[in-house]
Amino acid sequence: MCLFCFSKDNLTNDEIKGKYGNAFGPYANNTDTFDISLCQTPCKEPLCCCASAACFCPVQIYMRHKVLNHVQPGSGWSNYICCQGMFGGCCCLQPGNMCESTCPVPCMCLEACICPGPAVSATSNVIRERYSLGLDEDDVRLIRCSNCLFYFSVLLSCVAMCTDCEADDVVANIVNCISDVVFLSVGGCMTAQVHHEMKIRNASSPSSELMNR
C-alpha cells in the first residue's frame, strides 16, 4: 500500500498547515486513538468499507446523522451545520448561515455531493473531538500522502500550462485516476473506522451494560 512509503513520525508544523493537516492538526497531541486504524478497517469492517466506497455520498449523509445522534442522542439534525464548521467558509457561504437549521437534510446532501472530502473528515472529527482521539500512524501517513498528491497535481498543472505535449494529458488522467482511487479507498476506511468506534462505544456505555443485565 502506497501509504507505507510515507513516514509515521509526528507531523511537523508545516504539515499541519497542509490540505488535510489543518483539519487534523488540533488532535495531533492526543494520546488515545480509534480502536482500529485505517489499514485495519478492510478486515475488521469489510462491508462498511465497501459500501462507503461504492455509495459514498448517501453513506456520508447517513453517517453524519448517526454521529450527531451518537454524540447527543435524540438531537436529530438540530446540531448540523455545513462540515460542522471545521473547514471555514468562502465569501458569503459560511457554515451555520446557509439555512442548515431549516433545511438540514438538503444542505447535507449538497455537502456530501459537492465537498465529499471535508464531509467525511468532519464526520470523523466529530467522534475524534468527542472522545479526544489523536492521530495513529495511518492518519499521519494519510496526511503526508494527501499533501504529496496535492503538490504533485499542482506541479503537473504548471507543466501542462507551459507545454503543448500530448503526454501531459495522459499523465494528468493517470494522476486523476490514482487520486480518485485513493480518495474513495481512504474515505471508505475513515467511514468504517467511525462506524466501528461508535459500535464499541455503544457496547461499553453504562446504558448498554444495564440492558445486558
Instruction: Reply yes or no on whether the pLDDT at 67 is more than 80.
Output: yes
* Residue 213: per-residue pLDDT: 38
Predicted confidence (pLDDT) at residue 33 exceeds the cutoff of 80: yes
Within 10 angstroms of residue 155's Cβ, the number of other Cβ atoms is 10
Q: Is the model's pLDDT at 210 over the cut of 50?
A: no
108 contacts 64 by C-beta, under 8 angstroms? yes
Does the structure show a pLDDT above 60 at 54?
A: yes
**Among residues 47, 23, 49, 63, which one has the least CA distance to residue 184?**
49
Q: What is the pTM of this model?
A: 0.81
Question: Measured in whole angstroms, how far is the alpha carbon of residue 69 from the centre of its chain?
Answer: 18
131 against 134, higher pLDDT: 131
Stretch among 112-121, 124-133, 162-171 having the lowest mean pLDDT:
162-171
What CA–CA distance (Å, rounded) separates 166 from 64?
42
Most confident of 56-70, 109-123, 156-170: 56-70
Residue 75 has pLDDT above 90, yes or no: yes
Residue 90 DSSP SS3: strand
Contact (Cβ atoms closer than 8 angstroms) between residue 65 and residue 100: no
| Confidence label for 14 from pLDDT (cuts 50, 70 and 90) | low
Count the helix, strand and coil residues of the chain and give each as a percent rounded to the nearest 5: 70, 0, 30
In this prediction, residues 187-201 reach a mean pLDDT of 94
